[in-house]
Structures are given as structure tokens and as C-alpha cells.
Amino acid sequence: MYSTLVRKAVFLDRDGTIITNQGDLGDPDGVQLIDGVAEAVSSLATAGWLMVVVTNQAGVARGAFTEADIELVHNRIDSLVPSIERYYYCCHHPQGNLPEWKGVHPWRKPSPGMLEQAISDFDIDVEVSWMIGDTLRDIQAGQAVGCKTIWLTNQDRVSEEAKPTLYAPSLAEAAMFVLAEEQVD
């Protein structure tokens, strides 16, 4: 489906992977990094990995915040984690309150649209790239484009619907695995 190209990437979910938020966050003052995230992202970027965030942001569809608020949150994350190359986000949700955002969209994970756009924008080699996230839909989106996946979870949240390449308790541990695995190749 995709050609083998030159850039390697780590796709990251945002909420529950980079920041502690598990709900609608449109206020940059609410940004709280998960322990070890800044160091993990920096170490991956220093090793040559393109860092790309792919995040569902249905709070816009629910009317909880605006796209401008998403940008403010991302700017705040950038001030704490400057190694992120780009953010892709999807505001659509099938049960959204706002008509312009209500419905299914090919960018909404588990659909792979955001990853496909990044692959196209940056000429990413999916076979060596990783998707790291804390939900089943993150893993499914990564698998849909053919990249390796790391599910940030514990055994209580494991699902039979998808088998990731690896499970890890945090982005810090996932980054160590990606870096170690690259040394083996």
C-alpha cells in the first residue's frame, strides 16, 4: 500500500500518552506531562525519529472547546516538549453536538487517516515506524497503516481485538524499547 521511503517516525497519541488528561482539554493551563515524556520524546528525536502526534479531539464536536483551544494546548505541550514535529487532530465524533463536526470521519481513530496524511506529508517508511498510544483505537490505527505498535497499558486493559507489537507501562519505557530495538536491526 505504501512505498518504503526514507523517514522513520514515532506516532504518538496525546491524552493518556503524553499528557495526563483523559477527557476534553481545551485549556493550556490543564496540560500536565506524564513523568518521563519530555526525556523520552527528546531521546527519540535525537536518535532521528520524526515525532508526530495523532489525536482525536471530540471535545470540539461536543462544544466543550474550539480548534483554537486545541492549538493553545499544543503550543503549551511544545513549550514543554519541543521535539514534536507536527500535530494532527480530528474533531469529529458520531454523537457530536455541533452539526459541522457530527459524524464519522476518516481521520478519527481507529481509522488511519491522520497517520496516512503524515505518511504522505513526511515520506514516512511505515515498516520501521511505530504508533504508541494508550487505547485500542491507537493500536488499530497504527496496524491499519502497517507500522509497529506499542500499547501503553496494564494487563487489566488488554483486549483480544488487537495484538500490539509490545505492551509498555509508559512512554518512557516504550521509547527505551524503540531505541534498543533499532540497535539490534
Calpha distance 145→18 (Å, rounded)? 22
User: Mean pLDDT throughout 44-54?
Assistant: 97
The CATH number linked to 15 is 3.40.50.1000
124 lies in some domain? yes
Predicted local distance difference test score (pLDDT) of residue 157: 63
Q: Residue 137: its pLDDT value, please?
A: 95
**pLDDT tens per residue across span 8-34:** 999 999 999 999 987 789 999 999 999
Per-residue confidence band for 3, with pLDDT thresholds at 50, 70 and 90: very low
Confidence of residue 151 (pLDDT cuts 50, 70, 90): very high
pLDDT of residue 158: 64
Catalytic residue list contains 123: no
pLDDT at 154: 63
Question: Has 27 been annotated as catalytic?
Answer: no
Which residues have C-beta within 8 Å of that of residue 1, sequence separation ≥ 6? 145, 146
90 pLDDT more than 60: yes
- Grid cell of 85 as nine digits: 514535529
Catalytic residue (choose from 13, 24, 69, 134): 13
Asked whether 32 and 22 are in contact (CB, 8 A), the reply is no
CB 57 within 8 A of CB 72: no
Domain with 143 in it: 9-184
- Please state which of the ranges 46-60, 127-141, 148-162 shows the lowest mean pLDDT: 148-162
3-state secondary structure of 125: coil
pLDDT surpasses 90 at 178: yes
Residue 105 in any domain: the answer is: yes
**Is residue 3 in some structural domain?**
no
Would residue 129 count as lying in a domain? yes
What values do phi and psi take at 82, rounded to 5? Answer: -75, 0
Q: How many CB atoms lie within 10 A of CB 66?
A: 13
* pLDDT exceeds cutoff 60 at 57: yes
- What grid cell was written down for 171? 512512554
Instruction: Tell which wins on pLDDT, 1 or 10.
Output: 10
138 within some domain: yes
Number of domains in the chain: 1
Q: Is the pLDDT of residue 167 over 70?
A: yes
Taking residues 83-87, report their average pLDDT: 97
Do residues 71 and 65 make contact, with C-beta atoms less than 8 angstroms apart? no
